[in-house]
Amino acid sequence: MSLLQIFEELAEDCFDTCEANIDCVIETFSSSDDSLKIRSNISNNNIFGDMVLVNSFADTVKSPVFS
Amino acid sequence: MSRKTKKIILCGTGIKCISHVTVETKAAVKKADLVLYLVNEPIIEQWIQKQAKEATSLSDLYFSHSKRKESYTAIKNKILSTLEKYGFVCVVIYGHPTVFASPGLDAILEAKSLGVNCKIYPGISAEDCLFSDLMIDPGSRGCYSVEATELLVCEKKFDTSSYLIIWQAGMIANIGMPSGSINLQALELLQSYLLKYYGPSHEVVLYEASLYPKIEPKIVRFKLKELVAQDLSTISTLVFCPCSKNNINQKTLSDLNLV
């Protein structure tokens, strides 16, 4: 399951229902270093283990500010 | 292809990653010949790349200038030049595409004056999230929404019987690119200006909308006199609740038979 697929599932967020469907949940988001911690219970998953740190927009897309 | 047969749609993806994309925005992204985008998160970038026939980021253009105003002009020109080559262009900006976001709107207005078929689809703005997360109805007392630097430099007047929302406090006096540092001198001046309207112990809410499902928004309540000590970021918004009663004109009420 790719990160995008996980987010597409999570996008239908409604309390805890998505957790059961994809067995994965975003645990923390740190605005200080723009990182996400995602906890996955998916066994034999090559992408995510427990508490994987995913660099968010810090190293790829900086968040633009307007006005 | 003449300009009258060309089409451009400006739309917003909201704040919360993928969750805030509307049905009409998704349709525009899928159907456009080219999607130009400037978004706040790499997952939404991946989503656009997956949905679109062809997609190009405006991020490099945005960050290639030292002043934001120069970036906006470059982005506007890029959008207009792209229209020369493609029949249907979709421009995607995070949040609401015309709320505190001028480059897309500037391009749309110029394209419209040239006879291009233009549409703007709304997106969920940070302010929309704020109303939900703080459970505020701006219609209940009125609401004054203003950018921090403009409030300070133009000495904007406002009514303390209404809500006051100050955008981009973490970017105050910064006309360049987002950085990790805050202009504390400007923040002190902002605090002094606000103290003309509110008491030092008036509660202020520091708000940052959540970018991700399952993540709570940042909501920090503090006293106005503590403003300079707050951990502001480029996406921080300040909210002041009303501290005075509505001034009701009894004669007007009577004249309108509203008594």
pLDDT (tens digit per residue) in B109-140: 999 999 999 999 999 999 999 999 999 999 99
Sheet architecture: strand order including A24-30? A24-30, A35-40, A52-55
Chain A residues with CB-CB distance to B235 below 8 A: 31, 63, 65
Give the separation between CA B213 and CA B147, rounded to whole angstroms: 27
Which residues fall within 8 angstroms of residue B234, CB to CB, at 6 or more apart?
A63, A65, B168, B170, B171, B178
Lowest mean pLDDT, pick from B162-166, B188-192, B240-244, B245-249: B245-249
pLDDT band at B88 (very low <50, low <70, confident <90, very high): very high
Which residues fall within 8 angstroms of residue B142, CB to CB, at 6 or more apart?
B159, B161, B162, B163
- The shortest C-alpha distance from A33 to chain B (Å) reads 10
**Cβ–Cβ below 8 Å for B40 and A57:** yes
Contact by Cβ (8 Å): B87, B5? yes
- The shortest C-alpha distance from A42 to chain B (Å) reads 18
Give the separation between CA A55 and CA B228, rounded to whole angstroms: 29
pLDDT (mean) for B6-22: 95
Task: Catalogue the active-site residues of B.
Answer: 68, 72, 94
Contact by Cβ (8 Å): B50, B71? no
Chain B residues with CB-CB distance to A10 below 8 A: 18-19, 212-214
Give the separation between CA B18 and CA B8, rounded to whole angstroms: 22
Question: Per-residue pLDDT tens for B158-202?
Answer: 999 999 999 999 999 988 887 778 899 999 999 999 999 999 999
Top-confidence residue, B211 or B243 = B243
Chain A residues with CB-CB distance to B42 below 8 A: 56-57, 60-61
Name the pTM for this structure. Answer: 0.86
Lowest mean pLDDT, pick from A4-13, A27-36, B43-52, B180-189: A27-36
Q: For chain B, what is the mean pLDDT?
A: 93
Residue A1: pLDDT above 80?
A: no
Instruction: Please give the pLDDT value at position B65.
Output: 87
Write the DSSP symbol of residue A59.
S
Written as six digits, the tokens of B93 are: 């900006």
Instruction: Please give the pLDDT value at position B1.
Output: 61
- The shortest C-alpha distance from B236 to chain A (Å) reads 11
pLDDT band at B206 (very low <50, low <70, confident <90, very high): very high
